[in-house]
Chains A and B, each alone.
Chain A
């Protein structure tokens, strides 16, 4: 893990800096304890997902189980249309990531490497767009999607396309802002060299620039993925009657019941919902950290 690849801070002499030693063991114990506390809710979620019902609905919850079961997962998939919701979520988040990858890259290139009138204004507008509380737009967007539906049903209410459009637009300002730093960091000499070699602007953009800003693209795609994957508000507002087009966050709420919550199913569903993001994170954590650091510095 690169974020942690460095040893203790050493002085020029290679000696560990004075004043660091005595408290360090204490700090390390504290760090491990804090890490355990932070990870605990996740542990509890997964553990509960594998517990048999009797142990979950117990007033004496134990932090382990000797009889793990898949019953909760079976419950999730049989009672509710969970598989379908899962696919819907994957579809929405996947399309959002792929399309915003291309769109934000193009926009970032235009805003960093081209000089044209109104560029500064556009940059400021993108900065402002990041501050717009998109949730406040739910009401006009609801009506917009309703009218879009009569022209292009796939992008209207009750269809996944409406969610794609919304999340795409909302992830763009931050994605563009983030990529700007990466695109700007590519030296101009490289562009000149590419031009001398006969590469046009288009080829330079895709064959030289695109791979070079990959870390930024990765970090950006994780953030747009999470955005779309987590969305609860827009899915709840847009997908009203076509339940088969619901996404995961709403599916889990089915197991909250006035007669008593089915915690086993809720935790199994939550676990299933968390896994894709965790996998994504583990694969890209290195780029994510450097990407955010890069974007923040830019």
Chain B
């Protein structure tokens, strides 16, 4: 990737050739013209990204430094600069730490779950014939296509206290205490239920990605390894896995990004964060603080914390991957 990113070396320019202002000659066309066309092509997307992403990001940080409640939002009271006040209040609040723990634990379970299921099924898919593989892919595409709200509702219904199939089957199998069991009442079963739904709808991305990766490994390499007497496990570990690593990195990062900021499933399945907020994650917490509690400054501080955490996790993960010696 890095090779692709570097601009063409100037050595290619024949001496004396007309150069642009910046002393670089592009591969084709006049330099200024090319830069101008590029700017033109990039402008619409760039303007949108600056207006709806970069500027709000800046605003988020700014809002987090103010006391910004209902009165300020409606213009009834002057803004009060708090500096890091919101952050110290947040870090001193036991609830924040619980929510942070919830978020990290929940995201970790979801990421590991989707990776494990996705990878296992990708390997399985690469080893079976056309019909079972097609059925598996159709089912996975179906789960993938299901909108988050629809997936949440059907999982809720399957695990419904009174009319759910799962309780009925479990108690039918002799586990009597499951009859009328409320999955959303307890903190951990509620999280487990949501995690189940999240893994269900997010493993397909991992599976498709890894399957594409496995298929891209030339048959000859696997054959050569097995001719050399390598076991299936050894081939997987020493030949396939290193070749799949870049894809694995992408799948993992995507999963971290998605699962760390899940909103819909938690909100719908635990009715806005669970009983007494036991199932809150950072994202839902920020929403509740801001829009239910009219504390926009505090909500923004939570948003900043979330953004920073996500960036840090991603960077650390990339570092670790790079540190192990393989390209990313």
Contact = CB atoms under 8 A, between A and B. Distances in A.
A200 to B, nearest CB: 10
A253 B35 contact: no
A18 interface: yes
Contacts of B71: none
Interface residues of B, number: 116
B209 A293 contact: yes
A6 B126 CA distance: 10
Contact of A3 (B44, B137, B247, B299): B137
A4 B42 contact: no
A32 B135 contact: yes
A4 B130 contact: yes
Contacts of A261: 160
A7 B131 CA distance: 10
B15 interface: no
What is the predominant secondary structure among interface residues of chain B facing chain A?
helix
A199 interface: no
Contacts, number: 340
Interface centre among B55, B141, B158, by most chain A C-beta atoms within 10 angstroms, is B141
Contacts of A233: 263-264, 267, 287
B165 A61 contact: yes
A132 B307 contact: yes
Nearest to B232: A19
Contact of A263 (B136, B163, B226, B299): B163
Contacts of A277: 145-147
A74 interface: no
Contacts of A134: 53, 261
Interface in B224-241: 226, 232
A130 B132 contact: no
B304 interface: yes
Nearest to B304: A136
Interface of B: 4-8, 22, 24, 26-29, 31, 34-35, 37-39, 41-42, 44-46, 48-49, 51-53, 55-57, 59-60, 63, 73, 121, 124-130, 132-151, 153-155, 157-158, 160, 162-165, 168, 200, 205, 208-209, 211-213, 215-216, 219-220, 222-223, 226, 232, 246-247, 250, 253, 257, 260-261, 263-264, 267-268, 271, 283, 286-287, 290-291, 296, 299-300, 302-304, 306-307, 310-311, 314
26 contacts: A1-B134, A4-B130, A6-B215, A9-B126, A9-B127, A10-B219, A27-B124, A32-B132, A35-B140, A42-B154, A45-B153, A120-B6, A129-B53, A131-B310, A133-B283, A133-B307, A135-B261, A138-B287, A169-B53, A172-B48, A195-B28, A252-B153, A267-B153, A270-B147, A293-B213, A296-B212
